């Protein structure tokens, strides 16, 4: 793939006194080779200092079983909720969200499940 290719699911920008939207979810299942710098699911920016920037979205690189939560250095008080899939939540047994979880770029998460 061309070095200029990218995938984006960024949150909407806040207008006026509105807070910004959270980033979306991106799932890559192999076959497409992109650096994580070319994939963006970060939250949007708020136009007002009284409102928050959006929370980071999520990027799951399925072939690596790696979950990336990166807000691209956008400061926010919003958290990205992350939960293990229901079929993996067995009482008394450990469960995993992904083998590798990467949290960067000032993203905040809330783990559950």
pLDDT in tens, 36-85: 789 999 999 998 888 889 999 999 998 888 999 999 999 999 999 888 77
Q: Is residue 1 part of a domain?
A: no
What's the domain range around 19?
7-112
**Domains of the chain: total:** 1
pLDDT of amino acid 100: 87
Q: Is residue 2 part of a domain?
A: no
Strands ordered across the beta sheet of 100-104: 25-28, 58-61, 66-70, 100-104
Q: Return mean pLDDT, the chain.
A: 85
pLDDT of amino acid 74: 93
pLDDT of amino acid 87: 65
pLDDT in tens, 6-31: 999 999 999 888 889 999 999 998 87
Q: Is residue 46 part of a domain?
A: yes
Cα distance between residue 33 and residue 5, in whole Å: 10
Q: Is residue 29 part of a domain?
A: yes
Q: Is the pLDDT of residue 91 over 90?
A: no
CA-CA-CA-CA dihedral for 63, 69, 72, 78, to nearest 10: 160
Q: Is residue 34 part of a domain?
A: yes
Q: Is the pLDDT of residue 112 over 90?
A: no
């Amino acid at each position: 793939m061309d070095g200029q290719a990218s995938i984006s699911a960024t949150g909407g920008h806040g207008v006026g006194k509105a807070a910004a939207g959270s980033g979306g979810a991106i799932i890559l299942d192999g076959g497409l080779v992109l650096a994580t710098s070319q994939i963006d699911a970060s939250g949007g920016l708020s136009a007002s200092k009284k409102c928050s920037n959006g929370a980071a979205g999520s990027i799951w690189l399925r072939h690596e079983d790696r979950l990336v939560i990166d807000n691209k250095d956008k400061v926010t008080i919003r958290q990205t909720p992350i939960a293990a899939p229901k079929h993996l939540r067995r009482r008394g047994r450990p469960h995993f969200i992904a083998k590798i979880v990467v949290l960067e770029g000032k993203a905040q998460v809330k783990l559950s499940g």
